[in-house]
Chain A
Amino acid sequence: MNWPTNTRSPGRVIPKCVSYLSGTLALLLICAAAEAGTLVDARDYAGPAWSPYLAGAGIGVLSWLTFYFSDKPIGASSFYAHLAGFLGKLIAPRHTASLVYFKDNPPRVGWQAVFVISIIVGGALAAVTGGEFTNEWLSPLWTERFGDSITLRAAVAFAGGLIMAFGARLAGGCTSGHGISGTLQLNLASWIAVICFFIGGIAVAMLLFKW
């Protein structure tokens, strides 16, 4: 293979690293299964409109099309970084231009922006055609656990978004860019990242909803 590879041999470190991560995930799953007291059950609320296998296969085929026609993998998180850079340019242009991330990834409004904005419209079309348009500020599962304060939800969601975007930029992608597009290209980075998404996510969700 002629991928540009580092001189350090990954042969020994990686299997160890991946097996530790998989082990942690397995341990977490076992702990979760053993944990008896359930405060909430997500299955009390309506599931997906379509079979997950149909939706998943559709996304798989869609990735062939984005690779072939647009020479791009499916991804969402960098849109928010472009948007942050775009807003930064308006507010503090010189400071924004001095930041390393924006030097390496100049913010621009192009394919990625129309892609993510169209996801909003696509989601709306699917919800309206399926009679699932919710028009709500709080999800019923959230209300069941944390009550009906919109301020609390806003604070937690904002903090979550902030940590998540920081993590996505550090890891190099999100549930779409790493979780689907990277994993399907068999990228080692993406498999490490996606296992860590689930370790971090399961741990914090258990603390929030089951403790």
Chain B
Amino acid sequence: MIDPGKAVKKWGKKSARQVNAAPELIAGTMFGLAFGFLLQKGGVGKFHVLIGQLLLQDFTVVKIMLTAIVVGMIGVFTLHHFAKVNLHIKPTRIGSNIIGGLLFGAGFALMGYCPGTAAAALGQGSWDALFGMAGLIAGSWMFAELSGWTKRTIENWGDLGKVLLPDLLHVPRGVFVVGFATALTALLVLLERFTTR
């Protein structure tokens, strides 16, 4: 089966070279404004909403994420089917995904914001996000310092390359998207029914 995204690879590469061109930056600005606006209106710029999710008291974060996944998935795979967009799949490396994921979660609980919501929180006037953002820059630097070592060790543990869930289960993508969207929607209905916020 041909990856329909290949059809637009040329276009994709061309636009990547022009990354500093004005239209690209204007688009980035508009999308960033919209994303920040939606994050704040969705309440995820608020420290107590994010911590409330990790304490399993306030399920706003999971509701937003699952809704975005269902809506985004249907649209992106439809566009991809008609060769209008490229997929951007990061490689699966089980070791780094698990260890990095657990560290990320621990840091998330301490900081109370994640990298995107920290920016929205700062805009909202929650100045403590600044300390966290300074930490994010320092942590990124620390990772770069150790990147020679992580590349030789952790990143090789369970390196499977690019794997999509439907390919893994040997199910056609379209069928998987419809089934998965239905399952996630059912989960949202249950969450709405059994959570107070």
Contacts and interface: CB of A to CB of B under 8 A. Distances in A.
A2 B2 contact: yes
A182 B90 CA distance: 8
A188 B147 CA distance: 23
30 contacts: A11-B168, A43-B196, A43-B197, A48-B46, A50-B41, A59-B68, A60-B69, A70-B15, A70-B27, A76-B114, A85-B140, A87-B141, A100-B151, A101-B143, A110-B28, A114-B28, A119-B33, A120-B119, A160-B106, A161-B138, A165-B107, A167-B100, A175-B65, A181-B72, A189-B97, A196-B102, A197-B101, A204-B54, A204-B109, A205-B55
Given A157-B128, A160-B111, A187 B135 contact: no
Contacts of B143: 81, 101, 165-166, 169-170
A52 B44 CA distance: 9
Nearest to B59: A52
A84 B144 contact: yes
Nearest to A103: B147
A84 to B, nearest CB: 4
B56 A202 contact: yes
A188 B65 contact: no
Contact of B96 (A74, A172, A177, A194): A172
B161 A4 contact: yes
B164 A123 contact: no
B7 interface: no
Nearest to B36: A122
A204 B112 CA distance: 11
Contact of A57 (B71, B136, B148, B151): B71
A159 interface: yes
Interface string B88-127: 1111111011111111111111111011111111111111
B49 to A, nearest CB: 7
A23 interface: no
Interface residues of B, number: 139
A90 interface: no
Contact of A200 (B39, B52, B102, B127): B102
Contacts of B36: 118-126
Interface in A160-211: 160-206, 208-210
B72 A60 contact: yes
Interface in B132-182: 132-145, 147-148, 150-151, 154-155, 158-168, 173, 176-177, 180
A17 interface: yes
Contacts of B98: 21, 192-193, 196
Interface in B32-57: 32-49, 51-52, 54-57
Contact of B31 (A43, A70, A85): A70
Contacts of A194: 101
Contacts of B132: 157-158, 160-161, 164
Contact of B40 (A96, A132, A181, A192): A132
Contacts of B136: 77, 80, 161-162, 164-165
Contacts of B111: 156-157, 160-161, 164
B32 A175 contact: no
